Structure 1
Amino acid sequence: MTENYYKWHSPHLNREFEMLVFGDSGYPLLLFPTSMGRYYESKDFGLIDAAGWFVDQGLVRIYCPDSVDANSWYNKNVPPAERAYNHLCYDQMLANELLPRITAETGHERIAVAGCSFGGYHAANFAFRHPAVVSYLFSLSGIFDIAQRVDHQFDDNVYFNNPVSFLPDNEDEDLWRMGIVLGTADHDVTRGQNEQLSGILGAKKISHWLDVRPNRVHDWPVWKEMLPHYLSLIKA
């Protein structure tokens, strides 16, 4: 499997940013790490190997960006408004730096996004904020309400980066042409939030699959089962 490491100075973040990319061709998948995870986490925990067949066959090219969670939602050393602003800078980096690069390298103007646990939040938030450029959302045990991460203090940046808040009023027509999978498990701590988001999508008549895996928990083994299954749904 081809693996490439990239590092550049991000003007939106005003810092160096790192990323791993797996594969030479295929449909682009932006795969976010878990809470405060690094760009190499999905490789280290075997998630990339689990998806290896799709990469080796040239069906999927996986982009693994770093996170900024330690400076944003998990940064208790700054006020909630600053945490939200720091995340907004991350979102702008993804949309204005990383996405154009992915388009130039793959020729695809729409991408798939995925992530496990808090990475599922990042995937869903990016997808629902930018539905015109996201064709598939695969959330693996994601969370979708970041109210606790800002001590329940809301401003516009918090509201518009909190899917359970802004999605009910989001009428972007591209939401209805997105392939959405919400993966969770019987004994997953995120099951309630997945059922809540499924309810929001259902009320809007947005097609999606709430995949509740029996006799499983919130951990890497189930995510390594889920991701290959979900990748098989991509129609390039």
Structure 2
Amino acid sequence: MTENYLKWHSPNLGKEFEMLVFGDSGYPLLLFPTSMGRYYESKDFGLIDAIRWFIEEGRVKVYCPDSIDASSWYNKSISPELRAYNHTCYDKLLMEEVLPRMEAETGHQRIAAAGCSFGGYHAANFAFRHPDKVSYLFSLSGIFDIKPRMDGYYDDNVYFNNPTDYVPDNTHADLWRMGIVLGVADTDVTRPQNELLSGILAEKKISHWLDIRPHTVHNWPVWREMLPHYLSLIK
């Protein structure tokens, strides 16, 4: 399995940024780490090994970007306004620096987005913000309401990065063409948020699968089971 380490100076962040890429060809998968996780987390916790077959068979090419959670949503030492703004810079990095590479290297103009736990938030937020760029969303035990991290602060940057707020108002036609899976453990702390988002999507008649896994908890073993299953749905 091919593994490539990338590092470059990001103009959107004004600092160095790192990413791991697995595979040589296939459908491009943007795989986010968990809260404040690093670009190598999915490898270290066996998630890449769990989908090794798809990578080696050329079904998917996996891009694992670093996170900047410690400078955005999780940074309590800065104002909530700056936390939200910093995330918009991360979104621009993904759109302007990562996505063009994915498209150029794979030949696909749309991608799949996935992530576990807080990575599920990043995947869902990126997909719903840019439905013209994302064909598949696989959120594994994700959260979809960022407001608890905002200390009561609210502005447009919060709204447009808070799926439970902006998805009800989003009328982009590609939302109805996206393959969406919300995977969650039955005893998962994030289950209520997954059920809430599922209800929002159902109200809009957006097709999706709320996959509640029985006898499981919010942790890597269930995510290593989920992701290969979800990747098998890519056509």
**Which band: TM-score by shorter chain?**
over 0.9
C-alpha distance in structure 1 between counterparts of 2:19 and 2:61, whole Å: 13
- Number of aligned pairs? 235
Distance in structure 2 (CA, Å) of the matches to 1:214 and 1:149:
29
Distance between the aligned counterparts of 2:168 and 2:9, measured in 1?
A: 36
C-alpha distance in structure 2 between counterparts of 1:165 and 1:190, whole Å: 17
The residue number in structure 1 matching 2:99 is: 99
Q: Which residue of 2 aligns with 1:44?
A: 44
Letter in 1 for 2:4: N
Distance in 2 (alpha carbons) for counterparts of 1:111 and 1:31: 11
1:152 is displaced (CA, Å) by 2.6
TM-score (norm 1): 0.99
Q: Deviations over 1:166-194 (max 9, x none)?
A: 00000000100000000001100000000
Name the residue aligned to 1:207: 207
Amino acid at match of 1:174: D
Q: Which residue of 2 aligns with 1:164?
A: 164
Q: Does 1:126 align with 2:145?
A: no
Q: Distance in 2 between matches of 1:156 and 1:125?
A: 14
> C-alpha distance in 1, partners of 2:152/2:119?
21
Q: Which residue of 1 aligns with 2:84?
A: 84
Partner of 1:112: 112
Match of 2:227 in 1: 227
Task: Output the CA distance in 1 between the equivalents of 2:25 and 2:101.
Answer: 14
Counterpart in the other structure of 1:141: 141
The aligned residue for residue 11 of structure 2 is 11
Match of 2:20 in 1: 20
Residue 188 of structure 1 aligns to a residue whose secondary structure is: coil
Note if 1:175 corresponds to 2:171.
no
Instruction: State how far apart, in whole Å, the 1-side matches of 2:39 and 2:210 are.
Output: 27
SS at match of 1:217: coil
Paired amino acid for 2:166:
F
Q: Residue deviations 1:142-183, cap 9 Å, x none?
A: 000011111131100000000001000000001000000000
1:182 is aligned with what amino acid? L
Residue 211 of structure 2: SS of its match in structure 1?
strand
Q: Which runs of 4+ in 1 moved over 4 A?
A: none
Deviation (angstroms), 1:17: 0.2
**2:139 match: secondary structure:** strand
Aligned mates of 1:50, 1:151 — CA distance in 2: 37
Report the 3-state secondary structure (helix = DSSP H, G, I; strand = E; otherwise coil) of the residue aligned with 1:115: strand
Deviations 1:8-42 (A, max 9, x none): 00000001000000000000000000000000000
Question: Normalising to structure 2: TM-score of the pair?
Answer: 0.99
Let me know the Cα RMSD of the aligned residues: 0.4
1:141: how far off? 0.2
Alpha-carbon distance between aligned partners in 2 of 1:102 and 1:62, rounded to the nearest angstrom: 9
SS of 2:215's partner is strand
Shift of 1:225: 0.1
Q: Which amino acid aligns with 1:34?
A: T
